[in-house]
Amino acid sequence: MKRIRTGIPGFDNLIEGGFISPGVYMVSGAPGAGKTTFGMHFLMEGVRSGERCLYMTLTEDPKNIIGAQYRFFPDLIEAVKEKDLLFADVNEVHQRKVREEISLPDRTLMMDVKPISGRDVISLIQGYVEDLGITRIVVDSLALIGFSSSVGESSHEALQKGMFVRILKELDLTVLLISEMLDPDRYSIEHYIVHGIVLLHHFLRNDKMMRALQIIKMRGTKHDDNLHPLAITPNGLSVGDSILKY
C-alpha cells in the first residue's frame, strides 16, 4: 500500500504517514479556513518528490492563487516555470468553448453561462493525465461543477456526483477535492464515497477566533476524529498535537 505525504507539518503523522495513493479525498470548510493552502501543500509536496501536479480552478484566476500562495511556498514560481506544477483555469476553458459555439469575440466574459459539467471536468483531467503524466490534482471547487451539494438534492444530482467520484477513483492518481461546508452536520453523497474527508474549522471561542483541523474519515487508515489546533504560519499550515474542544 503506497502512501504519499501532504507536507503539512503535524498532519501526515495523524494519518499514518500520508494519503493512500491512488485515491480521492476532500478538504472542506468555510471561506478563509485554509483550504487552498492545504491543497497547495499537497501539490508542492508532490513537486518536491518529482511528481507533476495540477491545480484546477473553477473560480479564481490562477495568477491570483499564485500571488496569494507564493508567500508560503517560495519555490512555487519555479515549479510553475518548470511546468512541474500546472494550473488549469477551467472557467476560462468553459467560457472559451461557449464563445466559440455562439461566435462571440475572444475574452468576452459571460455571466449567464451554465456551470461546467462533471463530464467535461473528467475529460479535462483525463487529457492532462494522458498527455502530461499528472499524478496529483486539486479541484477547486466541487460546488461549481454543475451539481448542487445542498440538502434535498435530486436523485439525478446525487447520481452525477457519485459517478464523478467513481470515475476519479478509477484513474491512477490522487485527487483532492475542495468543497465549501458551512454546516459540519450536513452531508451529501460525495462525502460518503470519497476515501477521506478533512474538515477545517474556524470558530469563535472565548472571544477569540480559533482554527482547527478534524479528520472526519480516512479509509484504510488509523486516525482520530478529534479537533487539532491549526495555525497559518509563514510556511503555510501547521497542525498541533493537542486536542481542542468547542
Could you tell me the CA-to-CA distances from 105 to 97, 108, 116 in Å, in that order?
12, 6, 20
Q: What is the mean pLDDT of residues 178-184?
A: 75
The per-residue pLDDT for 182 is: 60
Counting beta carbons within 10 angstroms of the beta carbon of residue 34, is it exposed (0 to 12), middle (13 to 18) or buried (19 or more)?
Answer: buried
Separation CA 116–CA 120 (nearest Å): 7
Task: Write down the mean pLDDT value for the chain.
Answer: 86
Per-residue pLDDT at 240: 94
pLDDT score of 48 more than 50: yes
**pLDDT for 108-151, tens place per residue?**
454 445 678 888 899 999 999 999 999 999 999 887 787 644 44
Taking residues 218-224, what's their average pLDDT? 94
Q: Is the pLDDT of residue 222 over 80?
A: yes
Rounded to the nearest 5 degrees, what angle is found at the Cα of 218, between the Cα atoms of 232 and 60? Answer: 45
What distance lies between CA 212 and its chain's CA centroid? 18
Task: For residue 188, name the pLDDT band (cuts at 50, 70, 90).
Answer: confident
Name the residue with cell 500520508: 18
Distance (Å, whole) CA 168 – CA 161: 11
Over 70: is that where the pLDDT of 11 sits?
Answer: yes
Q: Residue 161: what pLDDT?
A: 85
Q: What is the per-residue pLDDT for 153?
A: 53
What integer pLDDT is reported at residue 102 of this predicted model?
Answer: 46
Cell digits for 158?
446525487
What pLDDT is stored for residue 180 in this prediction? Answer: 84
Give the per-residue pLDDT at 142.
85
Convert the pLDDT of each residue in 52-103 to its tens digit: 999 999 988 999 999 999 999 999 999 999 999 999 998 776 455 544 444 4
Q: Output the nine-digit C-alpha cell for 167.
A: 470515475
Check residue 105 and give its pLDDT. Answer: 54
Bridge-based pairing of strands 174-180 and 136-140 is: parallel
Q: According to the model, what pLDDT value does residue 207 have?
A: 80
- Mean local confidence (pLDDT), 16-30: 96
Q: Comparing 156 with 118, which gets the higher pLDDT?
A: 118
